C-alpha cells in the first residue's frame, strides 16, 4: 500500500504531457501521507509550491522536512526567500552554502541586485559572462548585466559605455534607455524607449498577455521622460491610461500613482492631496521597491504633510530619525530629512529671522551636512555669496579635522567639492578652487572611486593645466585609477596620455590606441556650413588693453576730416584784433569806471596809483591796529585854512 502513491508519483514525474502543478502537488501530498520521510516526494512538493507562487508554503515545507531536505533544497529555499523579500536570510543561506553551482551564482546575483548591492551583482555577472560554457544563459546574463549597470549609473557609481548596435531585444534596449535616463540624456532615452516598445510589440516569443504586461513599465518610463522633457500633457495622458488599465504589479502601481500626483495641477487643496497620498501609501505595504525609490516616496510623504500644516509632526519625526543617524552622512535620504527638519523648524519665519534660526540650528548640530547645505543655499538665494562660502569653508574645516571615515567621505563628497569650487570661482579665488580639487584628487586616488568618478575626471582635467610635475603625476594617477576600475572614457584616455607624455612616453603610447580616430571626431562636422556661417566675432570689452599706435593708425587719423572752426558773426579779417582782448575789462587800458565810487576805487588801486603807507600801533591792553602814516612835512598842503569870521 505505501508503495502505490510513490509509484503513482514516479509515473507522474516521468510523464511529459501533464503540466498542471496542482496535480504534482496532490500526488506529492498523497505520497507523503504514505511515507513522510520520502525525500523525493518532499522535494517534489517544494518545487510544485514554488511553481504555484506559494513561496511561504515552500519555505515552511522545507523547514518541516528536516536537515536532509534542507541540504538538498538550498536553491529552492533561497529562491523562495528572495521572492518573499527576505533578502538578509537569503544572503545568509547563500554564504553558508559554500561552493555554489551555476544556479546558485545566478540567484546570488539576483539577491544582491534586489538588496541594492550592485557592485557585488556586477562581480558575479562578470564572472558568469567569462564562462565559456554559457549556452542558453548568455542572453540572460547580458540582459542582467545591463540592468545592473543601469542601476549603478542611477547610484552615480558607474559609467556605462554601450555599443547600441547590439540592442536587438527589448530587454537590452530598455536597460540602456534607463541608463540614459540616469545620466539625464532624456532625448536619447525617449528614442530608445520608443524602439523598446516596437521590439516588444514585434516579439514572437511573447503572448498578447505577456506583451501587455511588459509594455506597462516601458510606458511608465516613457511618461517619466516626457515629464522631464517638459511634455506634461503627454506624461499625464500616459499615466492616466496606465492607471485605468490597472496592473497586478504593486511596485508599478505605487510609482505611477506617485508620479501622477506630482504632475497633478488641478488639485490645489493641500489636505485633499494628503488624503490621496495616504491612500497611495497603503498600497506600498506589498511593494518591493529599491531603496532609492522608497526614500523618494517617504520624502514626498513628508513634504505633503508639511504643506498640510503638520509642522510639529514633521519636526518630531525627522528629529527622531536624525538622532539615530550617523552624521555627517552622504546618504541622500538622511540629508533630505535634515532639510525637512529645517523647513519645519523655520516655518512661517521672515527672511531675516530665517537666516538667524538656521545658523542657530547649525550651531546645535555642527556635523549635519544637509543642514549646512540648507544654510548655504539660503545665503546664496539672498545674494550673500561671500557669507555662503564662509559658512561652507567653516563646515568643511570641522569635517577635515575629524578622523572618522564617514566624516572624510562627506568632506570630499563630489557634490560638496563641486559646490565649494563653484563658489570660490564666483568670488575670483581660482587658486583656492584648484587647491580644493588637488586635495580631493589625493583623497580619492587611494580609495574606490565609486560615485567620485566624475570628480576624479574633472580634477585630472584641471591638473593638466598645471606646469608642476607633481600635479601632472597626480592627474595621471587619477586617470589611471579610472581605467583600473573600468570607468575609463575617451576623455580619461586623452588625459592619461597628456599627463604621461613628458614623464613616461612609453607608458603614454600604450593608451594612444584607445583614443578615437580624428576622422571619427570630425566625421559629423559640416565644413561647408561652417565656412558659410563665417567667423564669430566677439564684442569689444571696455576693459580691453590699449595697443600701440602704428604708422598706419597715424595716417588714418590724419586723413580724417578736420572739424571746421567757428568764427564770430561780426568778424572782420581786415581789422587787427585787440591785443588786450584776453584781459578782463577792468584791466584794459580803455576801461573807464562809472560813478564817483568807481573812480575813487580806481584811484586807490595800486595799478598806476600812489601806494598808501600804513603802520601798526600797539594798544595798552594788547594787540595792535593799522593806521595810515602821516605825510612828510615838506609835502604839507600850502592852502590856508579859512578863519572864523
The span from the CA of 597 to the CA of 589, in Å, is 19
Strand partners, 626: 616
Give the CA distances from residue 400 to residues 397, 419, 421, 459, in Å, rounded to whole numbers and listed in that order: 5, 16, 16, 19
Which pLDDT does position 645 carry in this prediction? Answer: 46
Average pLDDT over residues 17-31: 72
Q: Are 196 and 221 in contact (CB under 8 A)?
A: no
> DSSP of 49-110, one letter per residue?
HHHTT-HHHHHHHHHHT-HHHHHHTHHHHHHHHHHTT-HHHHHHHHHHT-S--HHHHHHHHH
| pLDDT (tens digit per residue) in 598-621 | 656 655 555 554 555 566 656 555
pLDDT of residue 635: 45
CA-closest candidate to residue 145, choices 171, 173, 126: 126
**Is the CB of residue 25 less than 8 Å from the CB of residue 51?**
no
Q: Which of 88-102, 308-322, 516-530, 558-572 has the lowest mean pLDDT?
A: 558-572
User: Do 359 and 376 meet the contact criterion of CB atoms below 8 Å apart?
Assistant: no
- Angle among Cα 292, 374, 304 to the nearest 5 degrees reads 55
Residues 543-566 have pLDDT tens digits of: 444 555 555 555 555 555 566 677
Handedness of CA 61, 62, 63, 66 (dihedral sign): positive
C-alpha torsion 46→49→53→54, nearest 10 = -100
CA torsion 436-441-447-450 (nearest 10°) is: 90
d(CA 238, CA 235): 5
Distances (CA, A) of 6 to 23, 73, 440: 14, 20, 69
d(CA 83, CA 76): 11
Displacement of CA 534 from its chain's centroid (Å):
36
- What whole-number distance in Å separates Cα of residue 480 and Cα of residue 486? 10
Which is nearest to 448 in space by CA: 485, 410, 409, 479? 485
First to last CA, the chain: 189
Question: Is residue 423 within 8 Å of residue 392, measured between CB atoms?
Answer: yes
**pLDDT more than 70, % of the chain:** 78
Q: Let me know: does 157 contact 120? Beta carbons within 8 Å.
A: no
Is residue 314 within 8 A of residue 321, CB to CB? The reply is no
Largest CA distance in the chain: 189
Per-residue buried b or exposed e for 572-592, using 16+ beta carbons within 10 Å of the residue's own CB: eeeeeeeeeeeeeeeeeeeee
- The candidate with the shortest Cα–Cα distance to 378, out of 363, 359, 397, 399, is 359
Instruction: Measure the CA–CA gap between 417 and 398, rounded to whole angstroms.
Output: 15
Span 177-195, pLDDT tens digits: 888 888 888 898 899 999 9
- Helix (H) / strand (E) element for 26: namely helix 21-34
Backbone angles phi, psi at 615, to 5 degrees: -140, 165
CA 468 and chain centroid, separation: 30
Q: What does the angle CA 101 – CA 104 – CA 106 come to, to the nearest 5 degrees?
A: 110
Task: Give residue-wise pLDDT tens across range 440-490.
Answer: 888 877 776 666 777 777 777 777 777 777 777 787 777 777 766 655 566
**What SS3 state is found at 246?**
coil
Q: Say if residues 314 and 302 touch (Cβ distance below 8 Å).
A: yes
Cα(396)–Cα(392) distance, integer angstroms: 6
**Dist CA 627 CA 636 (whole Å):** 19
Nearest alpha-carbon partner for 111 in 131, 137, 85: 85
Higher pLDDT, 154 or 298: 298
Q: How far apart are CA 402 and CA 397, in angstroms?
A: 9
What is the tens place of the pLDDT at every residue in 367-424? 899 999 999 999 999 889 999 999 999 999 999 888 888 888 888 888 898 899 999 9
Task: Give me the residues paired with residue 618 across strands.
Answer: 624
Residue 282 has pLDDT above 80, yes or no: no
Q: pLDDT by residue (tens digit) across 289-343? A: 888 888 888 888 888 888 888 888 888 888 888 888 888 888 888 889 999 999 8
**Can you give the pTM of this predicted structure?**
0.67
Helix H, strand E, coil C: the string for 177-207 is: HHHHHHHCCHHHHHHHHHHHHHHHHCCCCCC
Find the range with the poorest average confidence among 124-128, 362-366, 604-608. Answer: 604-608
Beta bridge pairs of residue 628: 614
| 86 pLDDT above the threshold of 70 | yes
Neighbouring residues of 40: CB distance < 8 A, sequence distance ≥ 6: 6, 9, 10, 31
Average pLDDT, the chain: 78
Pairwise CA distance, residues 105 & 123, whole Å: 11
Say how far apart CA 200 and CA 197 lie, in whole Å. Answer: 5
> Which residues, 6+ apart, have CB-to-CB distance to 512 below 8 Å?
497
**191-to-79, 188, 218, 232 alpha-carbon distances in Å:** 36, 5, 12, 18
Contact 508, 501 (CB under 8 A): yes
Is residue 148 a contact partner of residue 112, using CB atoms and an 8 Å limit?
A: no
Contact 141, 122 (CB under 8 A): no
Average pLDDT over residues 614-636: 56
Output the CA–CA distances (angstroms, integers) from residue 106 to 524, 605, 609, in the order listed: 42, 120, 124
Amino acid at each position: 500500500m505505501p508503495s502505490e502513491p510513490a509509484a503513482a508519483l514516479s509515473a507522474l514525474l516521468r510523464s511529459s504531457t501533464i503540466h498542471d502543478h496542482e496535480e504534482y502537488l496532490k500526488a506529492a501530498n498523497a505520497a507523503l501521507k504514505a511515507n513522510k520521510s520520502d525525500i523525493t516526494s518532499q522535494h517534489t512538493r517544494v518545487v510544485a509550491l514554488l511553481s504555484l507562487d506559494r513561496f511561504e508554503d515552500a519555505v515552511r515545507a522545507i523547514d518541516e522536512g528536516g536537515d536532509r531536505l534542507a541540504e538538498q533544497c538550498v536553491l529552492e529555499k533561497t529562491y523562495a526567500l528572495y521572492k518573499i523579500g527576505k533578502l538578509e536570510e537569503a544572503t545568509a543561506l547563500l554564504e553558508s552554502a559554500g561552493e555554489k553551482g551555476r544556479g546558485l551564482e545566478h540567484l546570488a546575483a539576483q539577491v544582491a541586485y534586489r538588496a541594492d548591492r550592485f557592485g557585488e551583482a556586477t562581480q558575479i555577472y562578470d564572472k558568469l559572462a567569462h564562462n565559456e560554457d554559457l549556452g542558453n544563459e548568455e542572453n540572460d546574463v547580458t540582459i542582467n548585466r545591463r540592468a545592473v549597470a543601469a542601476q549603478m549609473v542611477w547610484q552615480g557609481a558607474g559609467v556605462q559605455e554601450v555599443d547600441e548596435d547590439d540592442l536587438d531585444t527589448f530587454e537590452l534596449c530598455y536597460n540602456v534607455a534607463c541608463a540614459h535616463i540616469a545620466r539625464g540624456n532624456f532625448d536619447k532615452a525617449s528614442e530608445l524607449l520608443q524602439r523598446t516598445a516596437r521590439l516588444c510589440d514585434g516579439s514572437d516569443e511573447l503572448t498578447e498577455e505577456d506583451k501587455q504586461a511588459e509594455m506597462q513599465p516601458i510606458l511608465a518610463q516613457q511618461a517619466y521622460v516626457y515629464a522631464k522633457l517638459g511634455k506634461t500633457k503627454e506624461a499625464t495622458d500616459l499615466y492616466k491610461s496606465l492607471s485605468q488599465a490597472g496592473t497586478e504589479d504593486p511596485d508599478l502601481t505605487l510609482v505611477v500613482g506617485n508620479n501622477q500626483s506630482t504632475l497633478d495641477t488641478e488639485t490645489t487643496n493641500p489636505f485633499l492631496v494628503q488624503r490621496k497620498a495616504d491612500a497611495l501609501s497603503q498600497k506600498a505595504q506589498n511593494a518591493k521597491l529599491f531603496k532609492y525609490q522608497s526614500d523618494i516616496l517617504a520624502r514626498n510623504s513628508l513634504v505633503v504633510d508639511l504643506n498640510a500644516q503638520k509642522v510639529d509632526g514633521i519636526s518630531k519625526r525627522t528629529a527622531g530619525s536624525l538622532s539615530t543617524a550617523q552624521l555627517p552622512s552622504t546618504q541622500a535620504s538622511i540629508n533630505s530629512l535634515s532639510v525637512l527638519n529645517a523647513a519645519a523648524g523655520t516655518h512661517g519665519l521672515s527672511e531675516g529671522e530665517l537666516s538667524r534660526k538656521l545658523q542657530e540650528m547649525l550651531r546645535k548640530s555642527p556635523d549635519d551636512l544637509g543642514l549646512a547645505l540648507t544654510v548655504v543655499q539660503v545665503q546664496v538665494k539672498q545674494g550673500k555669496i561671500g557669507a555662503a562660502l564662509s559658512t561652507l569653508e567653516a563646515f568643511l574645516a570641522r569635517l577635515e579635522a575629524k578622523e572618522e571615515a564617514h566624516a572624510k567621505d562627506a568632506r570630499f563628497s563630489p557634490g560638496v567639492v563641486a559646490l565649494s569650487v563653484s563658489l570660490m570661482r564666483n568670488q575670483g579665488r581660482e587658486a583656492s578652487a584648484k587647491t580644493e580639487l588637488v586635495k580631493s584628487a589625493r583623497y580619492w586616488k587611494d580609495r574606490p572611486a565609486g560615485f567620485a568618478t566624475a570628480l576624479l575626471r574633472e580634477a585630472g582635467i584641471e591638473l593638466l593645466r598645471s606646469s608642476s610635475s607633481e600635479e601632472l603625476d597626480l592627474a595621471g594617477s587619477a586617470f589611471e585609477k579610472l581605467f583600473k576600475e573600468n570607468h575609463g572614457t575617451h576623455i580619461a584616455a586623452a588625459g592619461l596620455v597628456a599627463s604621461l607624455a613628458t614623464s613616461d612616453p612609453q607608458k603614454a603610447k600604450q593608451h594612444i590606441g584607445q583614443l578615437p580616430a580624428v576622422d571619427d571626431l570630425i566625421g559629423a562636422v559640416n565644413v561647408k556650413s561652417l565656412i558659410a556661417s563665417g567667423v564669430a566675432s566677439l564684442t569689444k570689452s571696455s576693459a580691453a588693453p590699449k595697443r600701440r599706435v602704428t604708422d598706419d593708425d597715424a595716417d588714418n587719423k590724419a586723413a580724417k576730416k578736420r572739424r571746421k572752426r567757428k568764427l564770430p558773426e561780426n568778424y572782420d579779417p581786415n581789422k587787427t584784433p585787440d591785443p588786450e582782448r584776453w584781459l578782463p575789462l577792468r584791466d584794459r587800458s580803455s576801461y573807464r569806471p562809472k560813478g564817483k565810487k568807481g573812480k575813487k576805487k580806481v584811484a586807490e588801486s595800486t595799478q598806476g596809483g600812489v601806494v598808501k603807507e600804513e603802520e601798526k600801533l600797539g594798544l595798552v591792553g594788547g594787540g595792535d591796529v593799522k593806521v595810515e602814516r602821516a605825510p612828510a612835512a615838506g609835502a604839507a598842503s600850502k592852502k590856508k585854512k579859512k578863519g572864523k569870521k
